[in-house]
Structure 1
Amino acid sequence: MADESTPAPLGKVRPAASELHFRRLWQGIGWLMVAVVVWLSVTPHPPQPPSLLTWDKAQHLTAYAGLMYWFRQAFAAHWRWPVFLITLGVVLELLQSMIPLRNGDLVDVVANSLGVGIGLALGRSPLGGLLAAADARIARLGR
């Protein structure tokens, strides 16, 4: 996998996660997002999503795409993050099969994994610099 100094599309170099002013905050938000996904996955009666995302597979794809997109920006680019998120999706589906009123689903694992791929692609696109741009803007406000 390419390192953070690899030129982004349009010739811009995306700053490394270690160069973010509020790196720990962004990473903490990422782990909070993981905690929310875990809670939603293992609670017997999760809250119902907005009507726009009533299809279960879209929820899985969106959640894991969002996680990977965030992790790609807040943490150093490394193969372990997609592997971690795909493994998390598999483990949570296995746990769901053991929880009353829930059931694990192989198609959910596929949706989770596709979401990780989409999030990774978004993180490598020009959109992958949005967190760094927000971080820089917030840092300038504090001066």
Structure 2
Amino acid sequence: MSTLSHVNAQGEASMVDVTEKAVTQRQARAQGFITMKAETLALISDGQMPKGDVLAVARIAGIQAAKQCANLIPLCHPLMLSKVAVDFEIDHANRRIAITSLCKLAGQTGVEMEALTAVSVAALTLFDMCKAVDPGMQIDGIRVLEKQGGKTGHWQSEAADD
């Protein structure tokens, strides 16, 4: 088993030293879902949610969250993101919204945590803005879909639960 990268020789939490790592183009895509009543999904897709355009607000929240990742997760490096995108796909058949994020940079460490944070906060924002109409919504399936760059190169999820 490999050693844990966020623990030093004394067993204490430690930020990984990336000083000697090469700067490479890196990107990560993540996805998650929020499931709700069909009526709630119709209100969102028709732009009739009482709090306004919830998808626009959730998009901004997700982008902002990716930029704040190092402030939220203690051992994450603060990164100079060059691109953050958050997108939504309404799936009426399954009564859910798929949330995807893309984060990019040229740097010494990956952007998986930023992509996951973007999806998570976008989902939480949708929940917050719709909870008065549908408090039983469920957030799930948050995962990394793909990452590129660094010494491990290209990695893609094998799960096909899209």
TM-score by length of 1: 0.36
Judging by fraction of residues, say which structure has more helix: 1
- CA radius of gyration, larger in: 2
TM-score by length of 2: 0.32
Judging by fraction of residues, say which structure has more strand: 2
